[in-house]
Chains A and B, each alone.
Chain A
Amino acid sequence: MNVSVVSPPRSGTLGTNASRPDGVAKVQGGFAFSSDTWAENMLWGATLRSPHPFARIVSIDVTAAWKIDGVEVIVIADDVPGLNAYGLIVQDQPVFAKVGDLVRYSGEPIAAVAADHPETCKRALEAIKVEYEVFDPVVDPEECIAGRAPEIHPHGNVFRHQRIVTGDQSVEGDVVVEGDYEIGMQDQAFLGLEAALAIPDSGGDGVELYIATQWLHEDRKQIAACLGLPEEKVRLVLGGVGGAFGAREDISLQVHTCLLALRTGRPVRIAYGREESFFGHVHRHPARIWMRHHATRDGRIVKIESRMVFDGGAYCSTSPAVLINGITHTQGPYKCDNALVDGYAVRTNNPPCGAMRGFGVVQACYAHESQMDKLAAACGIDPVEIRLLNAMETGDRLITGQVVDSVAPVEECIRATAAIPLPPDLESDPDFRDIPGGSGRTADRSHIRRGIGWGVSIKNMMYSEGFDDYSTARCRISNGVVTVKFATAEVGQGFVMLAQQIARTVLGVDEVLLDTIDTQVGSAGSTSASRQTWMSGGAVNAACVAVRDKVMAHVAQYHDLEVANLAIDGTDVVDTRGNFRVAVSDVIAHLEIDETVEYHHPPTEDLDENGQGNCHVAFAFVAHRAVVDVDPELGLVKVVQVATAQDVGRVLNPLSCVGQVEGGIAQGLGLAVMEEIVVTNGKVRNPSFTDYLLPTFLDAPAVEAVFIEEFEPKSPLGAKGVGEPPCISVTPAIANAIRNATGRELPRVPIRPYDVCL
């Protein structure tokens, strides 16, 4: 790229706090989220779900429901015209559980209705009689691994088993520490609930779906297969998305909504409430991890052993990929030559689990960072020192044999975090809002002890194991107007703003229009895996560069200049060897240019049976230091401050980076001390925001963030994804701080008050 960016950068270009095109509408409440969509003559849809985690459906009787005035259609498994199954990796999850077949989790869809009013839908669902033969649910992953549990699904009870064996297994450390860790089931808890509007084509042979999703094209592929339609007959348009965090990667209401619309010939809308949302999407995998670290007396890691078990719940979703992410990140951001890791992702009758911010690495990181503190204590070394001592660098080999060829500023992240000033001590008579217990006024100053804890992490970016998750972008100039189109799901992260920043920078224009985000252009891949800035940013950049090349060629030809000497300077095209200068807006006023470009990342490989292979594309690193005030007698906490230095490659929009960091830290704090879907015997016991607790303003800490900017040469814009790292190592940092304050082992998250004080 030979863009000469003037300093300071022009407003709205890369590196600036460009304002978001959707920002004002979102703040003022005018932004149309998916749940705000509406169409003339629209019907409402609703879903009947199994109350049982494991049962056979003996019969479904819909006669009474049909008789209710206003009911337009009732659909069950037999009405699915195509494949009655979907799934991101394998298609093992039915659109509706079928009579004679099993329901495998509490909440599994059995039927859907469309009616004139949500209230009619509700009554219709109550009138459908389903007879079940109820079985004891399989809820213990170990029973599945041992082969002792009844088979839940024809595909078996183990989604994937993978080992990593590397180096010399006979190596023993002078110092050995081990632990059994447990991570609870976290929910993505986006605020914009699942909602979709399906509008059937007039001939009834196609459908348009307005949907809040993370990946339009993958949805379309699965929906078309279930509907038995060619993909071009299913058109998806992105509805306003209010957060995603992985929960919108899988199919939820997409097929149901389309099916109801096609059957009635009328637009149909389904919108979940909060309770149904807990049953409608996958969650973060609960996991049990055993880990043993061997180190030299002075604290150098020489071998890591681990066994990880991820409970994937009833259906596959992305469990195999989550498992691979977990086990391939066992070592964390530390050097390690010898390892033996055994990982399982299994099927149970618990709620299905899949993608959530951090994707398997959150679980692994909680274990390895807990271990690092144990190791530090066992070696008598400071927790910061032991991390610096083992810090990974560019060129190091992972336990998978892959060489880390990304920029790897682990040491810089740790040192920059350590340099951030600690918060002042608590005052002698602090405000109740500033101490554990908050508005409950449970503690006085004398009851509180302060702890400091560290967490450092490595996170892969983009998809792994040979998957080509390319992205597509189109850039057009017509009548002097620049328009960019892509299918990248804007879920709140701000890609719409970034795309404009890229186009302004590359093309030297101020106004950039964004076309509708839909399936009328090639796939962008998923808005997940910290990948869209890199991948779709790369695609938009490439499309804009292709257009710019044509603009330059035109200028060169028209003014008889050497194309190689032309460059964009601000909003002008200039001849770098002469005095020629012309405004881009003048040049493009009469040009018609249209370029569509795909961006692909370098290919990756599968792992072999020993878990060896270059399976990941690139890595990002981050360090977190948490300062936590603890009331040890009541087990209540207040996270006072989180300091962090994150490896971001290059900051493209400072405010956006800070937003990702602060949000990620709040989410990681949630996992550390409060967010958990409580499941007993296959049943969710807290499917509401009354009982599934998210951090409030009084729980969120002060965040002090520093960005480590070292241009990543592999990345098209030099930037790394910033979305996932903030939520990964902050969880163990907080746990380590609570351990530091209380001396308790605390092997599980979320840490509940009674874990601390009883």
Chain B
Amino acid sequence: MSVALPTSVGEVVDLLAHNPEATLLAGGTDLMVEVNLHGRRPGDVVALHRVSELRTWSLDTSRRTVTIGSGVPYAEMETGELARLVPALAEAARTVGSPQIRAAGTLGGNLGTCSPAGDGLPILSALDALIDVVGPNGQRQVRFADFMVGVKKNSLQPSEFVRSVTLPLVEGWQGYAKVGTRNAMVIATASVCLVRSIDHVAVALGAVGPTIIRATEAERWLVANHVMSSPPNVETLSEFGRMVREASRPIDDHRSTAAYRRHAVGVLAQRLLTRSYS
């Protein structure tokens, strides 16, 4: 096993171009579990920690976007300026693991693993984030919906990696809620990110399908049938919840049941919608 310690994005590109099989190491909070628990034995490792560009974020006021380096740890998203700009991401970051995990874990790693329960992903989905991918042929931007293609599957090509994610600044409200069987440090059994502006709503569901699911019909129905400037009434909430439940495609496993997950995303979506008016 070799470990490369590049310090620039260019070096990472070169390393991966020469060795498409190399394993990227960001915070290691997924990878080291693979190694220690599941016996994965990576051949060559490219450690991203020293690539300072990946660990920074920037605001583009003219385009009204935020670009967050793939190596920015969750701890930095939880509070401060980034939390003010993308509050739903801050809330999602706060639910990830423990302080130790949040100090190390990154969005790049969340996207690399691409688990349906990844807490960063519903935010990227609901905000229609663009994933900035770099490879031997240069840079391309991929819509999140085209990036995550299955359970722990993404559309990165060999030698490509995630440089950053670009999120629009949204006028309006955004929030994230996650159900787990304990009150902290728990994998989501169901989660919802809701983003609402004056004429638009986006609802992304986590842990209830092979990928993050957008409840597009519920979104459309709400915009078409509800005066977006006023809080929803009981009937609206109930129909909205029903449509969100319909959108989910959960399974039974040792963490929970499909029925509960379906129920939970409906409740969370209703509560987030209500919260968005409070």
Interface residues of A in 443-476 (CB under 8 A from B): 443-444, 447
Q: Is the CB of B179 within 8 A of A693?
A: no
Interface residues of A in 689-734 (CB under 8 A from B): 690-691, 693, 695-699
Specify the chain A residue showing the minimal Cβ separation from B91: A441
> Shortest CB–CB separation between residue A632 and chain B, in angstroms?
11
Q: Is the CB of B176 within 8 A of A441?
A: yes
- Asked if A430 is at the interface of the complex by the 8 Å CB criterion, the answer is no
| Interface size, chain B (Cβ < 8 Å) | 38
Q: A758-B259, A758-B263 are in contact. Are A688 and B37 (CB under 8 A)?
A: yes
Q: Is the CB of B271 within 8 A of A447?
A: yes
Once the chains are docked, how many angstroms separate the CA of A439 from the CA of B182? 9
Q: A441-B175, A699-B184 are in contact. Are A686 and B254 (CB under 8 A)?
A: yes
- Asked if B212 is at the interface of the complex by the 8 Å CB criterion, the answer is no
Q: Which residues of B contact A688 (CB under 8 A)?
A: 37
> Shortest CB–CB separation between residue A290 and chain B, in angstroms?
26
Once the chains are docked, how many angstroms separate the CA of A438 from the CA of B94? 10
Q: Which residues of B contact A297 (CB under 8 A)?
A: none
Q: Which residues of B contact A680 (CB under 8 A)?
A: 254
Once the chains are docked, how many angstroms separate the CA of A678 from the CA of B39? 23
- Asked if B256 is at the interface of the complex by the 8 Å CB criterion, the answer is yes
Interface residues of A in 477-493 (CB under 8 A from B): none
Interface string of A665-703 (1 = CB under 8 A from B): 000000001100010100001101011010111110000
Once the chains are docked, how many angstroms separate the CA of A699 from the CA of B184? 8
Specify the chain A residue showing the minimal Cβ separation from B184: A698
Q: A275-B37, A440-B178, A688-B37 are in contact. Are A753 and B260 (CB under 8 A)?
A: yes
A690 contacts which of B177, B187, B191 (Cβ < 8 Å)?
B187
Once the chains are docked, how many angstroms separate the CA of A755 from the CA of B189? 15
Q: Is the CB of A696 within 8 A of B254?
A: no
Q: Is the CB of A754 within 8 A of B183?
A: no
Q: Which residues of B contact A638 (CB under 8 A)?
A: 183
- Asked if A554 is at the interface of the complex by the 8 Å CB criterion, the answer is no
> Shortest CB–CB separation between residue A84 and chain B, in angstroms?
30
- Asked if B264 is at the interface of the complex by the 8 Å CB criterion, the answer is yes
Q: Is the CB of A698 within 8 A of B183?
A: yes
- Asked if B77 is at the interface of the complex by the 8 Å CB criterion, the answer is no
- Asked if A576 is at the interface of the complex by the 8 Å CB criterion, the answer is no
| Interface size, chain A (Cβ < 8 Å) | 39
Once the chains are docked, how many angstroms separate the CA of A638 from the CA of B267? 18
- Which secondary structure characterizes the binding site on chain A? loop
Q: Is the CB of A697 within 8 A of B256?
A: no
Q: Which residues of A contact B224 (CB under 8 A)?
A: none
Q: Which residues of A contact B94 (CB under 8 A)?
A: 439
Once the chains are docked, how many angstroms separate the CA of A509 from the CA of B222? 79
- Asked if A63 is at the interface of the complex by the 8 Å CB criterion, the answer is no
Q: Which residues of B contact A690 (CB under 8 A)?
A: 33, 187
Q: Which residues of B contact A678 (CB under 8 A)?
A: 254
Specify the chain B residue showing the minimal Cβ separation from A438: B183
Specify the chain B residue showing the minimal Cβ separation from A670: B182
Specify the chain A residue showing the minimal Cβ separation from B191: A440
Once the chains are docked, how many angstroms separate the CA of A634 from the CA of B271? 11
Q: Is the CB of B254 within 8 A of A693?
A: no
Q: Which residues of B contact A442 (CB under 8 A)?
A: 177-179, 268, 271
A699 contacts which of B178, B182, B271, B275 (Cβ < 8 Å)?
B182
Interface string of B100-111 (1 = CB under 8 A from A): 000000000000
Q: Which residues of A contact B271 (CB under 8 A)?
A: 442-444, 447
Q: Which residues of A contact B170 (CB under 8 A)?
A: none
Interface string of B163-188 (1 = CB under 8 A from A): 00000000000011111111111111
- Asked if B67 is at the interface of the complex by the 8 Å CB criterion, the answer is no
Q: Which residues of B contact A758 (CB under 8 A)?
A: 257, 259-260, 263
Once the chains are docked, how many angstroms separate the CA of A634 from the CA of B269? 12
Q: Interface centre among B33, B37, B254, by most A CB within 10 Å? A: B254
Q: Which residues of B contact A655 (CB under 8 A)?
A: none
Once the chains are docked, how many angstroms separate the CA of A275 from the CA of B188? 21
Q: Interface centre among B37, B181, B183, B254, by most A CB within 10 Å? A: B183
Specify the chain A residue showing the minimal Cβ separation from B261: A754
> Shortest CB–CB separation between residue A191 and chain B, in angstroms?
15
A122 contacts which of B39, B257, B264 (Cβ < 8 Å)?
B39
Q: Is the CB of A691 within 8 A of B254?
A: yes
Once the chains are docked, how many angstroms separate the CA of A636 from the CA of B271? 15
Q: Mind listing 16 A-B residue pairs with CB under 8 Å?
A: A275-B37, A433-B183, A437-B179, A437-B183, A438-B184, A439-B95, A442-B178, A636-B183, A638-B183, A678-B254, A691-B254, A753-B179, A753-B256, A753-B260, A754-B259, A754-B263
The 5 closest A-B pairs by CB, nearest first: A438-B183, A754-B260, A440-B178, A685-B254, A698-B183
Inter-chain pairs besides A437-B179, A439-B178, A695-B182, 15 sampled, C-beta below 8 Å: A438-B182, A439-B183, A440-B180, A442-B177, A444-B271, A447-B271, A680-B254, A686-B254, A696-B98, A696-B183, A699-B182, A699-B183, A699-B184, A753-B181, A753-B260
Residues of chain B having any CB pair with chain A under 8 Å:
33, 36-37, 39, 91, 94-95, 98, 175-189, 191, 254-257, 259-260, 263-264, 267-268, 271, 274-275, 278
